[in-house]
Amino acid sequence: MVEHGAAAPSQRARRRALSLVFMLVGVAVVVFAIVSQVNAPTAPGSAAGTIDPPQSTSASPSTSARPSASATGTTPQSSPRKSKSQKPTTQKPRTVKPRTEKPRTEKPGTEKATSRKTRTKSRPLLPPSKPVSISIPAIDLTSEVFAIGKAADGTLRAPEPGPDLNKVAWFEDSATPGQLGPVVLEGHVDTVEGRSVFFDLGRVRPGDEVTLKRKDGRTLSYTVDAVRSYPKSRFPTEAVYGGDISQSTLRLITCSDFDRRTRHHQGNLVVFGHLRTTAAGS
């Protein structure tokens, strides 16, 4: 005490205060870091649902005999957001199902055979008009949509840093909403800035509604048929960019399956849907 005396009481108090401040600030920083953690994006709940199921209504002779009537019916102007109560009762509720469930009719052959037999004529749809916005009420998503093309190496470009980074992109060589064939849209699950527009895409379930607004002002409503995750090395190009081209279908693509070792997403999540028919949409 005596030896250290000269410096002692006041200096010790200062040191003690300093060490306390250090600890407090340290704890504060750690708490902040914990609080600002973002949950990893949701993986699709199950392999439930069928990709491009044949549309039962198109098999009905009355529908295909009056193409113009059904064409106008594909553009319901009445609030599409009422959809939640209108989910087809045949669709399973949005519960997570065990992965052991076998995906139904994944083989294109069997699906095609059915759809081709029941379908007499595909219905005339709409003249081309690019999508300008998308809304998925089930995950509270709304976004502007911009057009994107292929890179020089033939891959699909992804939204780049800038004002469009966190918007949904429409692949410009795909169909526009309401044309025959797939409307292909993609969005980031996350970017260097954190979560992005399709962060919650894995929470979408069969039966959910996706609405697309076209440049000509029409709003079209699509029904989700299936949500799937694929390794990028086995990306199902034919199912995504093709599939059943006798109807207007929807594909929403984002990344999935992040690998911490490679620091890259190993997979793609794809939401498959089709244009809601008159019967289901009204």
Partner 1 sequence: MSLTPLAAQADDGDAMYRATLTELNGSGGSGSFMLTVDGDDATVEMNWNGLAETFKDGPFPHVQHIHIGGQGKCPTPSADKNGDDVISTPEGQASYGGIGTTLSVKGDTSAKSATDITIAPGGSSLDYKRTFKLNADTRSALKDGTGVVVVHGLDPSTMSKKAQKAKSPLVSSLPLAATAPALCGPISAAPTGGADTGTGSTSGIEHAGLFGLGGLLIAGGVLAGARLRKTAKAS
Using DSSP bridges, classify how beta strands 209-214 and 131-136 pair: parallel, antiparallel or unpaired.
antiparallel
Least gap, CB of 257 to partner 1 (angstroms): 9
Query: Which residue is it, tokens 């098999």?
Result: 59
> Should residue 16 be labelled a site residue for partner 1 when binding is judged by CB under 8 A?
yes
Binding segment for partner 1 (CB under 8 A), chosen from 79-87, 123-131, 207-215, 220-228, is 123-131
Closest contact distance (angstroms) between CB of 221 and partner 1 is 19
22 binds partner 1 (CB under 8 A): yes
Residues in the chain: 282
Binding of partner 1 by 141 (CB under 8 A): no
Closer to partner 1 at the Cβ: 25 or 96? 25
Q: If you ran DSSP here, which 8-state letter would residue 5 be given?
A: T
Distance in Å from the first CA to the final CA of the chain = 89
Taking the C-alpha atoms of residue 187 and residue 183, their distance in angstroms, rounded to an integer, is: 14
Considering the rule CB under 8 A, would residue 241 count as an interface residue with partner 1? yes
Instruction: Decide: is 63 part of the binding site for partner 1 (CB under 8 A).
Output: no
Q: Is 277 in the site for partner 1 (CB under 8 A)?
A: no
Q: Which of residues 188-207 bind partner 1 (CB under 8 A)?
A: 188-196, 198-199
**Nearest to 200, CA basis, from 37, 38, 42:** 42
Task: State which of residues 10, 39, 77, 89 lies at the interface with partner 1 (CB under 8 A).
Answer: 39
Distance (Å, whole) CA 189 – CA 200: 8
Residue from the set 6, 10, 32, 140 that interacts with partner 1 by CB under 8 A: 32
User: Burial of 61 by CB count in 10 Å (0-12 exposed, 13-18 middle, 19+ buried)?
Assistant: exposed
Site for partner 1 in 79-108 (CB under 8 A): none
Task: Check residue 49 for interaction with partner 1 (CB under 8 A).
Answer: no
Look up residue 94 and give its DSSP letter. Answer: S
